[in-house]
Amino acid sequence: MLGYEVVLVLALSLGASGLYALLDLLKGLIATSVPLAQQSTTLYAPAAPQAWLDISYQVLDIATELAPVLLVAYLLVRSGESVADIGIDGSSPSSDTGWGVGLALFVGLIGLGGLFAAKALGINRDLIVGAGANRWWDVVLLVFQAAGTAIAEEVIVCGYLLHRFRQLGWNPYVALVVAALVRGSYHLYQGFGGGLANVVLGLFFGTLYQRRGRLWPLLLAHFLIDAVAFVGYVELARRVSWLP
């Protein structure tokens, strides 16, 4: 039953996103003569010119992204557990915060270099964040989008998957690789570089989780990386021309 549960959770969340991302990449490679490096993909663009409608769209988007996280929490409770069993509790806030900030700095700097390298090698699309975002609420929504993405990815792909794989008796190395491949799959819309980089990130984060059993530092690091990247892109894109 746990195996079926895992399949259904992935089918309703990031597993399905991975399949869509794969098809999107294949479409870009097959259905057009434009090289991958000359293609672009847009994240979190404003959905409507009216403030109330744009905010409604984006809040709904964040809510639907977090719905599978609530499902995971519910399933854990139904099985006699809680989110504390996947490393979400308040037992060591200082340590978790320190680890999270340190990981954000370390991974963020390496990830930025990897992004430029992938673009230079022609294996990534241009990433455009918040195209047309120039209103005061756009930055606020981008920060909330970063939080939603960090929570959904780390809770489902790192905490929940590795926890359930362990309960299913999987070899920890096999579990780690499978979880990392899932993480990489739903980033394939960026190109091969984005997929590969996130497989490596999945191996790194997954190893830390397997050894320490703490999810908070990974959540915080992911949020800080995305929030700085999203807001930084919107602010810099209007002033520089070297962003990929």
The model's pLDDT over 42-95, given as tens digits with 9 standing for 90+, comes to: 888 888 888 899 899 999 999 999 999 999 999 999 999 999 999 999 999 999
d(Cα 142, Cα 239) in Å, to the nearest integer? 19
Provide the sign of the torsion angle of the four alpha carbons 104, 107, 110, 116, taken in this order: negative
Q: Is the pLDDT of residue 243 over 80?
A: no
Q: Are 179 and 166 in contact (CB under 8 A)?
A: no
d(Cα 109, Cα 90) in Å, to the nearest integer? 28
- Within a domain: 59: yes
Stretch 214-218: mean pLDDT, rounded? 97
How far from each other are the two terminal CA atoms of the chain, in whole angstroms? 44
What's the pLDDT score for residue 237? 63
Stretch 162-178: mean pLDDT, rounded? 98
| 235 pLDDT tier (thresholds 50, 70, 90) | confident
- Within a domain: 179: yes
The model's pLDDT over 88-143, given as tens digits with 9 standing for 90+, comes to: 999 999 999 999 999 999 999 998 888 888 878 889 998 888 776 677 778 889 99
For residue 43, what are the β-bridge partners?
129
- Within a domain: 87: yes
d(Cα 159, Cα 10) in Å, to the nearest integer? 13
pTM above 0.85, yes or no: yes
- Within a domain: 169: yes
The model's pLDDT over 14-26, given as tens digits with 9 standing for 90+, comes to: 999 999 999 999 9
- Within a domain: 171: yes
Q: What are the structure tokens assigned to 137, written together?
A: 């609420």
- Within a domain: 180: yes
Q: Is the pLDDT of residue 244 over 70?
A: no
Which candidate, 158, 187, 182, 148, places its Cα nearest to that of 64?
A: 148
Question: Which whole-number Å values give the CA distances from 74 to 4, 80, 83, 140, 160, in the listed order?
Answer: 16, 10, 9, 29, 12
- Within a domain: 242: no
In total, how many domains does the chain have?
A: 1
Domain containing 184 equals 2-237
- Within a domain: 50: yes
